[in-house]
């Protein structure tokens, strides 16, 4: 894992001091709320319906046990004993006091963490593949590139008042587990025909009210030009992104309105200029960072055997572990989706336990997934039963990865001031209703957003639910056929919306159509793609 040096630590400490002073001036009335708002947002602090919410960055999804323990302590000390892991691979606390935030940031800085640019119209926390460094299908570990960009984007003086928020994702495998093409910039680390490593740039993707899949604007940017190329993409956006309408201000609209070819031309022109400006760190810096991500000392000669005599354990192994590049190891997924629970929530005790297990079984490293679960990336098969037993005892043993119970839901109207409808109770009801049929339904990704801003990624769900406001009453639209994987697609709305009870019935009906129509081995998404939306419409409205 990356370790701060004196410089990184000094920058984060300076940020804490700066924000402490800004909070003091706000409380003393020396700055107005309008002036303070962008400052607090760029330190992760939102004003929600009932309290402040603090969003803490988990860069490229990686945490150590010490960091997880610190997150648990913050939940205990400053919140109501809970943290909420989000679809942006971050953690949020929903009950925070403004005057506590400088101390929380100081606590975070002690474990090399921060809330820098987790909100606001700036470059946000960089996300990555939660199986990075563990999966056999990656070209190389993508996280050193993400760390390079984390440093470049932190406090970037030119890009602190962009037209809108800006999200960057870096992956390094063909399989896309991070919804890379739904980011403002998606980067895939690739190898060209001469065997050199570089970066393919996808620019202008996003969800929200106008979901778009990012086009590839450059299939190969050499590694020693990565930062410069990002800077060119951002400068064109900062200068020409729309500022007249908040809903048209994301870079996807600029790329769409200019056309990908014209946007690319402008970026290339800016890039040619910026290459003369000495803004690219030397490759030695990338090498320095990469040494922190060297693979852990995997044991060799391990057995591949798993004792499957306990059927509950066997089920968990089948659903919640994924293959690892090292023989005798797997990546194990800790589900934060108990049946009927709040997706992504973890109590302080659970976080402490996860931290201990991280240290004991996974080389002191865990990951936050954008599906709101936790991964222990490097677990010996021989340790799985002990791990599962500890998880079960803490209510963390749900065997439902990518199953109907593994629902993504945004905070919705229970917390969020932008919401049209509640997301959490709908998730809980769908989970309760359909979890008993989890095995039969197989892979099925349900995603719920409480408004069109799409924090719950409803466009990318095999089944998506979107909360809307219908004359002051909460109403839910159903979408089918989205995917955020390699075969990225956007879901389609089936028709008129439903009330809260109705949407749960509607989701169940959609699964019944699937069960009736599927052929051998088809997932819900495959059946939908084969038969189209009409059979579902008939069942729902016919």
Where along the sequence are the contacts to ligand SF4 (CB under 6 A)?
Answer: 410-412, 416, 418-419, 449-451, 453-456
Q: For another protein, which residue of 4, 78, 95, 155 counts as binding (CB under 8 A)? A: 155
Tokens 């959609």 map to which residue? 510
* Least Å from the CB of residue 324 to another protein: 33
Residues 358-387 that bind another protein (CB under 8 A): none
Q: Which of 127, 154, 264, 358 binds another protein (CB under 8 A)?
A: 154
Q: From the list another protein, ligand SF4, none, which binds 198 (C-beta under 5 to 8 Å, kind-based)? A: none
Of 427, 442, 437, 417, nearest in space to 343 by CA: 427
d(CA 502, CA 487): 30
Residue 495 gets which letter from DSSP?
S
Binding of another protein by 279 (CB under 8 A): yes
Question: Strand 408-409 and strand 446-449: pairing?
Answer: parallel
Query: Given candidates 31, 66, 306, 485, which one binds another protein under the rule CB under 8 A?
Result: 31
Dist CA 61 CA 198 (whole Å): 22
Q: What is the enclosing helix (H) or strand (E) of 263? A: helix 260-274
d(CA 445, CA 109): 36
State how far the Cα of 169 lies from the Cα of 463, in Å rounded to an integer.
24
Q: Which of 376, 391, 455 is nearest to 421 (CA)?
A: 455
121 makes contact, choosing from ligand SF4, another protein, none, with CB < 5 to 8 Å by partner type, with another protein
Paired with 334 in beta bridges are: 374
Q: In the complex, what is the shortest distance from the CB of residue 416 to another protein, in angstroms, rounded to a whole number?
A: 22
Does residue 110 belong to the site contacting another protein (CB under 8 A)? Answer: no
Q: Is 159 in the site for another protein (CB under 8 A)?
A: yes
CB-wise, 413 or 480, nearer to ligand SF4? 413
Q: Verify binding: residue 266, another protein, rule CB under 8 A.
A: no
Burial (CB count <10 Å: 0-12, 13-18, 19+), residue 222: middle
Please say which residue, 275 or 489, places its beta carbon nearer to another protein.
275
CB of 401 to ligand SF4, least distance (A): 23
Choose which of 14, 27, 393, 473 interacts with another protein (CB under 8 A). Answer: 14
SS3 state at 318: helix
Q: Is 39 in the site for another protein (CB under 8 A)?
A: yes
Contact, 228 vs 473, CB < 8 A?
no
Q: Which of residues 74, 134, 162, 451 is near another protein by CB under 8 A?
A: 162
Strand, helix or coil at 326?
coil
Instruction: Count the residues of the shown chain that bind another protein, applying the rule CB under 8 A.
Output: 40
**Residue 21 within binding range of another protein, rule CB under 8 A:** yes
Distance CA 291, CA 285 (A): 10
Q: Considering CB distances under 5 to 8 angstroms, the limit depending on partner class, which of ligand SF4, another protein, none binds residue 278?
A: another protein
Q: Which of 507, 511, 399, 525 is nearest to 460 (CA)?
A: 525
By the criterion CB under 8 A, which residues form the site for another protein?
Answer: 5, 7-8, 10-11, 14, 18, 21-22, 25, 30-31, 35, 38-39, 121, 151-152, 154-162, 235, 238-239, 243, 273, 277-279, 281-282, 284-285, 288
């Amino acid at each position: 894992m990356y370790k701060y040096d004196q410089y990184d630590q000094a920058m984060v400490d300076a940020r804490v001091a700066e924000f402490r002073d800004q909070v003091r001036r706000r409380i003393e009335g020396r700055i107005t709320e309008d002036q303070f708002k962008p400052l607090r947002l760029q330190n992760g602090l939102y004003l929600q319906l009932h309290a402040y919410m603090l969003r803490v960055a988990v860069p490229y999804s990686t945490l150590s046990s010490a960091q997880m323990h610190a997150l648990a302590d913050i939940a205990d000390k400053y919140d109501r004993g809970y943290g909420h892991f989000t679809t942006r691979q971050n953690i949020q606390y929903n009950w925070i006091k403004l005057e506590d935030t400088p101390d929380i940031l100081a606590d975070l800085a002690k474990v090399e963490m921060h809330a820098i640019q987790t909100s606001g119209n700036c470059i946000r926390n960089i996300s990555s593949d939660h199986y990075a460094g563990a999966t056999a299908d990656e070209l190389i570990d993508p996280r050193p590139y993400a760390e390079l960009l984390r440093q470049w984007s932190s406090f970037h003086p030119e890009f602190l008042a962009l037209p809108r928020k800006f999200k960057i994702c870096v992956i390094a495998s063909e399989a896309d587990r991070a919804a890379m093409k739904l980011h403002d910039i998606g980067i895939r680390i690739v190898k060209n025909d001469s065997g050199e490593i570089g970066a393919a740039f996808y620019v202008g993707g996003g969800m929200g009210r106008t979901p778009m899949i990012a086009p590839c604007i450059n299939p190969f940017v050499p590694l020693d030009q990565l930062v410069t190329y990002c800077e060119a993409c951002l400068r064109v956006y900062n200068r020409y992104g729309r500022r007249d309408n908040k809903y048209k201000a994301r870079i996807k609209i600029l790329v769409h309105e200019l056309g990908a070819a014209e946007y690319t031309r402008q970026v290339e022109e800016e890039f040619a200029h910026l290459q003369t400006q000495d803004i690219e760190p030397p490759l030695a810096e990338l090498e320095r960072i990469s040494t922190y991500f060297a693979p852990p000392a995997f044991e060799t000669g391990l057995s591949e055997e798993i004792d499957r005599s306990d059927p509950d354990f066997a089920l968990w192994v089948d659903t919640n572990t994924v293959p690892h590049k090292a023989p005798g190891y797997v990546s194990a997924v800790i589900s934060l989706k108990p049946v009927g629970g709040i997706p992504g929530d973890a109590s302080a005790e659970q976080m402490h336990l996860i931290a201990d297990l991280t240290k004991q079984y996974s080389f002191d490293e865990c990951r936050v997934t954008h599906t709101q679960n936790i991964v222990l990336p490097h677990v010996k098969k021989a340790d799985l039963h002990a791990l599962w037993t500890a998880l079960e005892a803490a209510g963390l043993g749900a065997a439902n990865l990518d199953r109907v119970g593994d629902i993504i839901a945004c905070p919705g109207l229970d917390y969020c001031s932008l919401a049209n409808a509640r997301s959490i109770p709908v998730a809980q009801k769908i989970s309760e209703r359909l979890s008993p049929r989890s095995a039969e339904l197989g892979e099925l990704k349900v995603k719920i957003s409480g408004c069109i801003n799409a924090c719950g990624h409803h466009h990318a769900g095999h089944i998506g639910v979107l909360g809307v406001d219908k004359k002051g009453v909460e109403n839910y639209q159903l979408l089918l056929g989205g995917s955020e994987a390699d075969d990225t697609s956007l879901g389609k709305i089936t028709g008129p919306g439903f009330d809260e009870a109705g949407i749960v019935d509607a989701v169940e009906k959609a699964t019944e159509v699937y069960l009736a129509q599927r052929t051998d081995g088809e997932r819900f998404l495959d059946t939908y793609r084969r038969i189209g939306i009409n059979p579902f419409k008939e069942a729902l409205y016919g």
